[in-house]
Amino acid sequence: DIEMIQSPDSLPVSLGERATINCKSSQTVLNSSNNKNYLGWYQQKPGQPPKLLIYWASIRESGVPDRFSGSGSGTDFTLTISSLQAEDVAVYYCEQYYSPPWTFGQGTKVEIK
C-alpha cells in the first residue's frame, strides 16, 4: 500500500495569511505514461462529507476559489491557501488514487490563530 503522510497535523493561521500543507507518499503517484500525478486534495468541514478541491495534484475543481492551489510531483505535494478566510477552517486530506488500495493522509486541521 502507498502510505500518505501529511504535515503538520494542526495548522493555526491568522486570517489573510498563507497556509501550507504538505503531503508525502511512500511511492511515486506519477503516471509516466501521461505525466499526471494521481493525487487529490479534499476539504472536510464538521458534519459534512469531504469536498474535492484539487485533482491531478494541481488542477482546481470547478467552483473552488483560486486562493487554493496544489503543487508537487512524484512523492512530494503541497496544498496552499494563499489568504486564509474564516470559511476555510476545516480538515484537509490528500489522497492517492494511483494504485489500489487508494489511501488518504491522516488529515491536517486548519484553524484560525
Partner 1 sequence: EVQLVQSGAEMKKPGESLTISCKGSGYTFTTYWISWVRQMPGKGLEWMGKIDPRESYTNYSPSFQGHVTITADKSIRTAHLQWSSLKASDTAMYYCATSYSDHGALEYWGQGTLVSVSS
Q: Check whether the bond before 65 is cis (ω within 30° of 0).
A: no
Which residue from 56, 69, 74, 89 is in contact with partner 1, where contact means CB under 8 A?
56
Residue at 22: amino acid letter: N
Instruction: Count CA atoms within 13 Å of residue 19 on its CB side.
Output: 30
Residue 112 CB, nearest approach to partner 1 (Å)? 20
Residue 39 CB, nearest approach to partner 1 (Å)? 8
Residue 36 or residue 67: which is nearer to partner 1 going by CB? 36
Asked if 70 and 64 touch (Cβ cutoff 8 Å), the reply is no
Q: Does 69 bind partner 1 (CB under 8 A)?
A: no
Distance CA 95, CA 9 (A): 15
Distance CA 20, CA 30 (A): 21
Which residue from 30, 55, 58, 72 is in contact with partner 1, where contact means CB under 8 A?
55
Which residue from 22, 28, 51, 78 is in contact with partner 1, where contact means CB under 8 A?
51
Query: What are the residues binding partner 1 (CB under 8 A)?
Result: 1, 36, 38, 40, 42, 44, 49-52, 55-56, 59, 61, 91, 93, 95, 97, 100-107
